[in-house]
Structure 1
Amino acid sequence: MGIKDNSKINEYIDNICSYVKFKGSHKEIKEELLSHIEDIVDENNEKGLSEVESTSEAIKRMGDGEAIGKQLNIAHKGTPDWITLLLTIILVNAGVGLMYLIQYKNSYKPSDYLFNHSLLYSAIGTVGVILLYFFDYRRLEKYSKHIFVGMCLSFILLFFIGHPINGSLSISIGSFSVDIKAISLYVFVISLAGIFNNYDWNKGINLIKAIGYLFIPLILMIEVQGLTYCGIYFITFIVLALKSDMKKRYALYIIAFNIIPAVFCFISQPYRTARLISFLHPFSDPTGSGYMGVQMYNITHTSGIFGHGLSSTGTMLELPSMESEYVFSFIVHTFGWLGAAVIISIIISFIYRILHISKYVRNSYGRLLISGLISVFIVQFVSNILMNLNLFPIVGVALPFLSYGGSLGLINMLSVGVIMSVYRRRSLSA
């Protein structure tokens, strides 16, 4: 009779597990305890003890089941990271509040669409975070390739039958609109995390496949999303590849190989060159290509520590899309550098906290998921804020959680839900 079939040992292990409230960890706990007990039993058998004596001695050496169970309950406590959730709630509610101020205090739009939809999507996102927290993220890993292929096929199908207008590629469900442009980046990143987990980079064929995983989404996204989101995907791809133990020289080769086509794509469209020139010399054409740069320059240099408040809106009314790409400029204009510093501090805390909790995740797939999602967040946060401070060319990237985005805001919150699901199961290695 093997150790696994020993009723006395199974009773002992079941007693320990009864004190561990997170049932998702029971399987791994049982395997670990069986392994320890088996080692002790083998050691006792070598000393000449009978099977019954070896088993009794092993249980005795393991210790009191109740005490072990309570210790394991603490170690495997499936609780959310309340700090990350609190920071997310603060950012989301700040975004809803900003939409209220932009719409009602600044008479930005005649309808209630902006604020009401922000409130609606934030409520849906909150429910999504809760549901994903209880969902076992590990179930996604085995479907990673299917998710990748499915997203590619959906992209192609919707592109040909959806008639994208102004970079929009969406599906309307009643009053809701699901923007494929917004969610595709995150879906590709989630699928890559599963594909690259336990990926053998030493095989040449796998390197060729990885190049396909890089270029296929880039080709699909570039027509609708432009270079900006392609750049975010490229950076995230490199991060995930390096995190999955790809050799650094391979990363350098991939980066070098992509420089020429990236430059070609950039200079092939005159408006991109004009954006770069206006970024470098905004006052050379203040009413033309440099208009946005000049407006943001005026905002950052006239707002002061406390800003202009809600009564002074003349400058802001000349800034289009302030509910999305330029919401940070609205923050600086209205609340000054003090308000901007508070927002930046919360964002830095949010990023640091997620990077911090990833250190406690034992599962390699979970760590890759967090690395991919936080990379997307970091690039968007940094590029948007620097753009609003005239330190980066104007790109079509919204500020996560704070900008109005509908589908984009929703997918940002769902990404936090995935991260919380990973953290809840941080003690599980498989």
Structure 2
Amino acid sequence: MKDSKKQHFLKEVTHQIKSKEAKNYVAKELTYHLKETEKTWMEKGCSETEAEEKAIEQMGNPTKLGISMNQLYRPKVDWWIIILLGLSLLMGFLPLLSLEYKDYFIGHKAIIVVIGALVAVGIMFVDYRKWEKRGWFFYAVGVMILLAIRYLPNRIINGVPHIEVGPLAIENLMSIPFFLLAWASFFNHHQVKVWKLIGLFIVPIFMFLALPSMTSVYIYTLMIFVMLCWSKLNRKTIMTIFTIAISSIIILGTILWNYLHEYQKVRLLAFFNPEDYSTGAGYINLKLDEILTNSNWFGNSAGGEFIPEAHTSFVFVTSIYYYGWLLGIVLVLILSMFAVRIIFVSFSIKDSYGKLLLIGTVALYLAQLATNIAMTLGLFPLVGISLPFMSYGLMPTLLNAILIGVVLSVYRRKDFLVVA
């Protein structure tokens, strides 16, 4: 057969490679180089058969080459991220130890931690490169989740519609990872109509507002803007989108203010002047400030202080009050290391789609981390944003586990350039 020698050579090389993904990648890469080398020899006057033999000979010993390729293209595991994930998930148990019904919460937290870890590791083994051509599919999934929550909710939690499926209470934030995958695909192409991008951006905004969920609007918008800066679009297009988007948000915000419920307006005003609303919307702001002021470096083992939403939104306050500012600082450092590590990894990623995924992931992660800490310190209005891996709940853990899984998937294939 015409390609028998070539196929035999490739088989010998790939036989030394353990990873199936790496085998496919190396086979494609070597096939390309063999063809290019054959062309060179044929241009020098060799016959097709002679050119093939010389190309194979030039590649060297297939066994040694295979061993070398196995070392070079072996799928990577980002152990730094794995270690940080383990530490964060374990530290999430600390605030629960101070709760009255700690046995109940700790038992459920253990299940949540296991599920989160399995999801993150499971996604690591999925080849992220296969997602790049499915941007529209992921966008449609995100939209369908929002439509289902808007029109088919079967549970209301704190006034927010959810879809309850067994132990899962799916909220609108679970659409965000799908929009992340979609926008990474959209931004990875040069020739995309500006009007189409603006339309795709605005549709989820209106859907989030219809729920309503200003928190999701904030996180989604921040993610898009950060990814836009790293997209393949030219600077003029980026500036045009920025201008139109920001103008639309300002106009929309002005209009929406007139349609907000009174309690929503009061909640925002209470952030600026909590003393004027001390018996109402400003109570939590003042209470959190009081708790943090009375906290010391090493915590209060006696406890006794009432902390609103102690195991969810204000778990950071709980950690500081019971374990001290020292632990709070350590906690912030550990959680911040996720972002530092992801940014560091992004510099080593050659694939533009993978890089966009990491940029979007770090934007989503930092939006949660910075906002939650800022609002507990009185630097940001109170919103429903959890502290990554610390706040109790399956959905917040799943959301961030998916993000970490995406990072691990990209890192695992950081040396692969050929799209699968």
Return the TM-score normalized by structure 1: 0.88
Aligned residue in 1 for 2:213 = 226
Q: Secondary structure at the match of 2:163?
A: strand
Superposition pairs of residues 262-341 of structure 1, within 5 angstroms: 262-266=253-257, 268-269=259-260, 270-308=262-300, 310-314=301-305, 317=306, 319-341=307-329
Q: Does the aligned pair in 1 maintain the 2:16–2:66 contact within 8 Å?
A: yes
Q: Percent identity?
A: 28
Tell me how far 1:232 sits from its aligned partner: 0.6
Could you tell me which runs of 5 or more consecutive residues in structure 1 were left unpaired when the two chains were aligned.
none
Tell me how far 1:267 sits from its aligned partner: 5.6
Match of 1:49 among 13, 35, 46: 46
Aligned residue identity for 1:220? M
Q: Secondary structure at the match of 1:360?
A: coil
Q: Does the aligned pair in 2 maintain the 1:102–1:323 contact within 8 Å?
A: no
Tell me how far 1:160 sits from its aligned partner: 2.2
Q: Measure, in 1, the Cα distance between the counterparts of 2:312 and 2:172.
A: 15
Runs of 4+ in 1 over 6 A off after TM superposition: none
Aligned residue in 1 for 2:176 = 185
Q: Measure, in 2, the Cα distance between the counterparts of 1:211 and 1:369.
A: 20
Q: Measure, in 2, the Cα distance between the counterparts of 1:188 and 1:30.
A: 33
Q: Over residues 280-309 of structure 1, what are the superposed CA-to-partner deviations in whole Å (9 max), with x where a residue is unaligned?
A: 33334433332222222223322232222x
* 2:81 maps to 1:102: no
Q: Does the aligned pair in 2 maintain the 1:168–1:179 contact within 8 Å?
A: no
Aligned residue in 2 for 1:17 = 14
Could you tell me which runs of 5 or more consecutive residues in structure 2 were left unpaired when the two chains were aligned.
none
Aligned residue in 2 for 1:406 = 394
* 2:78 maps to 1:86: no
Aligned residue in 2 for 1:64 = 61
Aligned residue in 1 for 2:199 = 212
Match of 1:392 among 380, 403, 407: 380
Match of 1:376 among 358, 364, 379: 364
Q: Over residues 244-292 of structure 1, what are the superposed CA-to-partner deviations in whole Å (9 max), with x where a residue is unaligned?
A: 2233312421223322212433464243443343323333443333222
Q: Over residues 364-415 of structure 1, what are the superposed CA-to-partner deviations in whole Å (9 max), with x where a residue is unaligned?
A: 3322222222211110100111111111121111111100122221232133
Inter-CA distance 16–167: structure 2 relative to 1 (3 Å threshold):
farther
RMSD of equivalent CA atoms: 2.4
Tell me how far 1:173 sits from its aligned partner: 3.3
Q: Does the aligned pair in 2 maintain the 1:22–1:78 contact within 8 Å?
A: yes
* 2:409 maps to 1:421: yes
Q: Measure, in 2, the Cα distance between the counterparts of 1:67 and 1:337.
A: 56
Tell me how far 1:231 sits from its aligned partner: 0.8
Match of 2:224 among 226, 232, 237: 237
Inter-CA distance 421–389: structure 2 relative to 1 (3 Å threshold):
same
Corresponding residue pairs, total: 412
Superposition pairs of residues 154-193 of structure 1, within 5 angstroms: 154-162=145-153, 165=156, 166-174=158-166, 176-193=167-184
Aligned residue in 1 for 2:28 = 31
Return the TM-score normalized by structure 2: 0.90
